[in-house]
Amino acid sequence: MVKIKISRNQFLVLLGCTLVFVIVLIVVLRIVWGGVRQPIAFNHQIHAANDLECLDCHPYYEEQASSGRPTLETCITCHEEPLGESNAERKLIEYINSKEEIKWERLYDVPEDVYFSHRRHVVLGNIECSTCHGDIGESPRPPSKPIKIKMKKCMKCHEEKEVDNDCIACHI
């Protein structure tokens, strides 16, 4: 067996390098496996600045639990011809030309045992989209990770609006 002798300073440098490597590895793994990667870097900000409302691209909130994600047909309404020269615009035109539906990823993470209805909240409860979605309309790029919906926030809102907070009202 060969024994390697290292000084205290060498050990500390080696330990520091190992820690940096582990931290970088964790960050890279979170980006690769923990993030949301949209097929197109959708810019909510520019769409809101052009007077588009949430319902223009998310049309189902009035009738369904889900608000829906923009379909290719929805995008074609404004983007049949390129409106700019960004990478996102070029990619959108590729989808339009190939007639391939865009596979948007979910941004909001609601626990599996929770039933959330956009119709119930937006239409019947008269709640603005920004109450739950915050300033997403001002965002120039999609969030890099899923946005978790916290029960604490829901419970607080229900209490403020004096709405049923019984478990079975939301949990299935």
Where does the chain show beta strands of DSSP type E? 108-109, 147-148
| pLDDT for position 94 | 93
80 in any annotated domain: yes
pLDDT means over runs of 10, the chain (172 residues):
81 87 77 71 91 88 85 91 86 93 87 88 88 87 82 91 88 84
| pLDDT for position 29 | 65
| pLDDT for position 49 | 92
Report d(CA 63, CA 85) in Å as an integer: 36
75 in any annotated domain: yes
146 in any annotated domain: yes
| pLDDT for position 65 | 84
- Strand-pairing partners, residue 148, are 109
| pLDDT for position 32 | 57
4 in any annotated domain: no
Q: Terminus-to-terminus CA distance in the chain, angstroms?
A: 62
10 in any annotated domain: no
| pLDDT for position 35 | 66
| pLDDT for position 155 | 92
163 in any annotated domain: yes
Range of the domain at 94: 42-167
The DSSP letter of residue 102 is P
Total structural domains within the chain: 1
33 in any annotated domain: no
Tokens of 19: 């820690």
37 in any annotated domain: no
| pLDDT for position 99 | 93
Task: Please give the model's pTM, rounded to 2 decimal places.
Answer: 0.67
At 171 the three-state DSSP class reads: strand
| pLDDT for position 137 | 85
Which distant-in-sequence residues (6+ apart) come within 8 Å of 28 by Cβ? Answer: none
